[in-house]
A and B are shown apart, each in its own frame.
Chain A
């Protein structure tokens, strides 16, 4: 696995909620991203996607496990090293209304990175760089003196992207970056992100719950359920041959714009509620809702195992299927 740009191994983050109650937000997650590629991370609300993403920016310190970015372990670094990390890893946020400080002008929002890192010290250099960033994201220089509340959601998201690009990072964590936008704007923003990836050789961790958008942008896809990865592999493999019952359920819930297919297609409806992430039961976390559950599933948590290529799945029931496919 060496040589990968981002390597996360056995990442664990437990939050203490109340007395003797532990919320296992991220429980033993491992993945890697190659330089210049995109990993899509999908899963429902509260499954720990954002927590994983925030670890990469060192907003959270992991309890266990290692995070290596460009070969350097960042899991327990000092505050000064965090500042250096900021030049490598940046983040784009979900809510374009909450992610911009309403007391700053757009120019101040984008230029804050320069103040913090003492770059572009002269007024003119700074202004030119801010103008350049605004133009890259499709806004114009005169927007620099306005305040965030004067912009629409899509424009605000562009400002957020300009801020993330200010330090010319190599990895960008897109934390639900398009979920709060309407569909036509989503397409613009995603295409812009793809364009930047090509021109600036960016690496993305693309966190989303919109499966079709992830399929569009991601090279690899990881599916998370209640703090653990349940399936992980090349996007085509995960979407083409979903192995985990949860992935199957998710994919079958994606609506298609084809009424004939929609009528003939039987949706897999997942029953029950997501089980409680506080002090979880032993065994597979999907056990309570799984239609293929066996006795073993309630006792032992299934590890991630390879089922061909780099396609991995954490499910006891998938073993035979792997056999079926290979025969």
Chain B
């Protein structure tokens, strides 16, 4: 019995030659928050796939109109309503314009409105919500009451009015979207601001004598920006869709300029005879919106600090 114990002891507990060298080795390299976020995004298949879709659509919308042999607004009355073929990849419309060219010019407009319509209201919201939450008092009261009134008015009312005043270009649509969407982000940012302004690291910055400007922009905003980036990504599909909807009901982009929504609207009249005129731009809207939604979801997961190890 004693011998067995002894043999176990001898075999299993070998003194390391130089214990000091093994003690306290830091294995993990120092990784910043953003490096971590990109690493997680890179390993996420859905994020990669939707990112690739977004990248390809954006790249083609820039490149195709430059190199296409047809102009998006060149009519050709000898070749109207052609089904997709070798000459016209997506066919032609009722006045013989090449739909392949029009879809990619429309992509430029739709994506521009999508990104602009997501970022502009977010910036307005961050600024006003931040001021409202950080300073409080009468300015908070004022901004919050304006929002309370603003959200009560249906957004279509503003949008119609703005379109009447400013015409129906992409800028007008972005402003219209900004007018309706800044209020939600302002509320969210205000809430986050209230949550952060009494955190100890903010108090400590105040104790060090930091100005309000420094506290807002160096301390609090970086902490809430991650969430706002996510909401920008998930606002892009909303803006793309809103543009499509406005153009579809005839308030948005007007022919011969085009966007995906405008193409759908033009195609919708004859969709039984020429279904490709409606379904091709419709498919682009769906795929793009889905890609941005999925990417936004993955980004939210990647940014979530609780998933950090």
Contact = CB atoms under 8 A, between A and B. Distances in A.
Interface of A: 54, 57, 59, 79, 82-87, 89-91, 93-95, 98-103, 112-113, 116-117, 145-147, 149-150, 160, 163, 166-167
B254 to A, nearest CB: 46
A67 to B, nearest CB: 15
A163 B204 contact: yes
Nearest to B225: A103
Interface stretch (B50-58, B119-127, B195-203, B277-285): B195-203
Contacts, number: 67
Given A116-B214, A146-B30, A149-B308, A90 B199 contact: no
Nearest to A50: B203
Contact of B210 (A87, A90, A116): A116
Contacts of B87: none
A203 to B, nearest CB: 16
Best-surrounded residue of A54, A99, A103 (most CB of chain B within 10 A): A103
B199 A98 contact: yes
A160 B305 CA distance: 22
Given A101-B222, A103-B222, A163-B204, 7 more contacts: A79-B211, A86-B207, A95-B200, A101-B201, A101-B223, A103-B33, A116-B214
A228 B30 CA distance: 47
A116 B209 contact: yes
Nearest to B202: A101
A99 B207 contact: no
Contacts of B223: 101-103
A147 B32 contact: yes
The 6 closest A-B pairs by CB, nearest first: A86-B209, A83-B209, A99-B200, A98-B200, A93-B200, A101-B201
Contacts of A167: 208
Nearest to A167: B208
Contacts of A86: 207-209
Contact of A54 (B199, B201, B203): B203
B214 A93 contact: no
Nearest to A100: B201
A79 B214 CA distance: 14
A86 B33 CA distance: 30
Contacts of B201: 98-101
B218 to A, nearest CB: 8
B206 interface: yes
A93 B33 contact: no
20 contacts: A54-B203, A59-B207, A79-B211, A85-B209, A86-B208, A90-B207, A91-B203, A93-B200, A98-B200, A101-B201, A101-B223, A102-B223, A112-B208, A116-B211, A117-B209, A145-B30, A147-B30, A147-B33, A160-B204, A163-B204
Interface centre among B33, B205, B208, by most chain A C-beta atoms within 10 angstroms, is: B208
A54 B206 CA distance: 11
